[in-house]
Amino acid sequence: MPEIVNIASARPKVLEFFAGIGLARMGLEKAGFRVAWSNDYEQDKWDLYRNHFKDVDGEEHSFTLGDIGAIEVAQLPRDAKLAWGSSPCTDLSLAGSRGGLRAGESNAFWQYVRLLEELGDDRPEVVVLENVVGLATSHGGDDLAAAVRAFNELGYSVDVLALDARRFIPQSRPRLFLVGALNPPEDTVEPDGELRPDWLQAVYGDPTLRMHRAPLPAPPAPLLAGFGEFVETMPTSDERWWDTVRTEAFASSLSPVQRDRIASMRRTPGVKYRTAYRRTRNGVAVWEVRPDDISGCLRTARGGSSKQAVVKLGNNRLQVRWMTPLEYARLMGADDYNLSGARTNQALFAFGDAVAVPAVSWLAEHYLMPLVRGEFVTRDVDMAQVRRG
């Protein structure tokens, strides 16, 4: 009789730290991984996660709700091949306080490192840290070096990649990915490139750090348009469009250059869409509309300045409204995410604080899965020394 293979067990197992609503999981599982354990501390995100994924707290998956600092290593599966961590970026983002890796919520990274260390010989072969590109310049680059060094001390050589979700979806969302490998690929790649731009080269030139550059295909070129295709279909009479007074206030707050451009687009036949943010300039709240058919970076919607508006232009009409949860989901590559029962601000905050699904799936397909399966030509490494850290 032919051997019966358990498909679930054949898929490499993943630990998903800082899971949020599970968009990293969606990207990883598209590439053939299986997320077996997840953690997040926010109830609202857990509610969305549980509503979308139907296997939580079952035989194939468990979710630990709570502060990562309170998690004990005994709660983790011991046979995972990959650990993914999208640690909080509040103190690293260009829109945040820039306090650094040890400030505020961002110090949760060190609890991630603690748990990997406590796994000992059972730590995964590959680890990932996903964060904002501000990590590369935080404290003059010292924070990035500290993160690399922390992984080095656990036995991992590290590769650092910059990847913008705009290469896959019409949203400008650059992110940094640190990929740690116990058995790293041979370093045969030219220093500069699309994935490792010149502003990342300092960390590779640091002789105190153990780094590698995996040979990867070039990612798709950044999209130049396409946001209009992601807009939720909505009649002009829908009550979510702002009323005349509010729309006129929006238009009057634009700079003269933007006002002229919007007026010109408004007069043209057909319908076009743009996105807009509210900014504070010289103490005055103003609106700024993107000139291209690309969404600005989605953010955590804690206030009006972080929420993104949709601007509809053409046929002598101007309409404005807030972006919807469905549009947020589409712009994160999660078109089929189950939003039933989700509150609007709950969904906007959760998606704005997540990683784009197609960026994860591209990285997983071209880098993480080949690394786990040993498909790269690897260096000669003293694995006993690596395992000892």
15 within 8 A of 77, measured Cβ to Cβ: yes
| Mean pLDDT (whole number) for 65-87 | 94
In CATH, what is the architecture of 7-222+354-388?
A: 3-Layer(aba) Sandwich (3.40)
Query: In this structure, what token pair is assigned to residue 43?
Result: 């109830």
Q: Tokens at residue 12, please?
A: 């490499």
How confident is the model over 172-202, as pLDDT tens digits?
999 999 999 999 998 877 777 899 999 998 9
**pLDDT tens, residue by residue, 144-178:** 999 999 999 999 999 999 999 999 999 999 999 99
For CATH 3.40.50.150, list the domain ranges present in the chain.
Answer: 7-222+354-388
90 has pLDDT over 60? no
* Among the ranges given (70-74, 106-110, 128-132, 322-326), the one the predictor scored with the smallest mean pLDDT: 106-110
The confidence score (pLDDT) of residue 157 equals: 97
Would you say residue 35 has pLDDT above 90?
Answer: yes
Model pLDDT for residues 348-373, shown as the tens digit of each residue: 999 999 999 999 999 999 999 999 99
**Is pLDDT above 80 for 98?**
no
Task: Please state, in angstroms and rounded to a whole number, the distance separating the CA atoms of residues 221 and 219.
Answer: 6
DSSP 257-289: HHHHHHHHHHHSSS-EEEEEEEEEETTEEEEEE
From CA 314, how far away is CA 318, in angstroms rounded?
7
Task: Answer yes or no: is pLDDT of 389 > 50.
Answer: no
pLDDT at 211 over 70: yes
Cβ neighbours for 261, distance < 8 A, ≥ 6 positions apart: 289, 291
Q: Tell whether the model's pLDDT for residue 97 goes beyond 50.
A: no
Cα distances from 233 to residues 180, 324, 327, in angstroms, run 42, 11, 10
